[in-house]
Amino acid sequence: MALLKTYIRKAPSRGFTVIEVIVILALLAILAQVTFSGDISFYTKKTFNEEVTGLYFSLMHARISSMHNVCLGISCPDGKAHGVRIETDKYILFQGSNFSDRDVAQDKIIIFLPSVSATSTGDVVFEQLSGNTEERIITITDDTGRVARILINEEGRIEKP
């Protein structure tokens, strides 16, 4: 009997069972999935909001440049109107009363991320000194279905609701 007790006491447990290992791996996989999906969602939302904010500030820049009668370049005795042309994959800040008569040397092209696109009913051109323009709605979307709109009224007010 003493020999049996000694044998039982001396038998150490050596490692984990297969079931214990599978349970721990499953818990780690679930934790990783929750962590990474949250991070990716946060990142895509953040980059989308940065694209919308960038377009918003570019519109504000064009409006302010028009109101202050800014003229970039050497052939400008007077100020010029400024505007923004919205295309699906980019937008262009330009100087001039319309996109076709603009000063191409002063263009600033900003390209959207591949997951972001924009639509507008036409170019946004702000009048000199007043900053007035035609009413516009610019819609920005991304691959995940997020939608943002920038509203511009006749007085040139730009709103990002």
Least Cα distance to 140 among 63, 20, 55, 40 occurs for 55
The hierarchical CATH code for the domain 22-159 is: 3.55.40.10
pLDDT digits (tens, 9 = 90+) for 11-51: 556 777 888 889 999 999 888 887 776 677 788 899 999 99
Written as tens digits, the pLDDT of the chain (161 aa) is: 555 555 555 555 677 788 888 999 999 988 888 777 667 778 889 999 999 999 999 999 999 999 999 988 877 778 899 999 999 999 999 999 999 989 899 999 999 999 999 999 889 999 999 999 999 999 999 999 999 999 999 999 999 87
> Contact at 8 Å (CB) between 96 and 102?
yes
Sequence ranges of the domains in the chain: 22-159
> Contact at 8 Å (CB) between 155 and 131?
yes
| Strand partners for 132 | none
